[in-house]
Structure 1
Amino acid sequence: MPKMKSHTGMGKRVRVTGNGKIVSAQSGKRHHMEVKSSRHARRITGLVVLTKADTKRIKRLLGR
């Protein structure tokens, strides 16, 4: 039986914390930044914990 391969693209986009939570950069910070207010732009920086539904799917892609 061949080894299970992890999805390398997903591995570059998310990180697994010590407790097993999946964190990634918050969405909405790539383009159209001139339209968004400075306050909104600051608030969407940093990492967020992904939802339970996403966590199950992403862990399968990561091979965990």
Structure 2
Amino acid sequence: MPKMKTKSAVKKRFRLTGSGKVRANVAHKRHMLTAKPQQMKRQARGTMILKDCDAGIVLGFMPYAKA
């Protein structure tokens, strides 16, 4: 069997925590920040843990992830 490939977009945008959950960046922080509320920008700092339904989709594109 040939090796399965990991999606390039997924390996750039997501990574796994030690317990196997999927960590992602928070959206809507790139441009036009003056039009967004301060609370929204504050809560979008750092990263977030994906919900299980979304994490399953992402893990499907990472065949060798230790989840």
Where on the TM-score scale, by shorter chain, does this alignment land: which range? 0.7 to 0.9
- Structure 1 runs of 4+ with >2 Å offset: 37-40
Describe the superposition over 1:13-55 as per-residue Cα deviations: whole angstroms up to 9, x where unpaired.
0110010000111111112201012332122111100011111
Gap runs ≥5 in structure 2:
none
Compute the RMSD of aligned alpha carbons.
1.2
The count of residues paired between Structure 1 and Structure 2 equals 64
Gap runs ≥5 in structure 1:
none
Q: Secondary structure at the match of 1:34?
A: helix
Q: Percent identity?
A: 31
In 1: Cα distance, 2:14 partner to 2:27 partner? 12
Q: Normalising by the residue count of structure 1, what TM-score does the alignment of the two structures yield?
A: 0.87
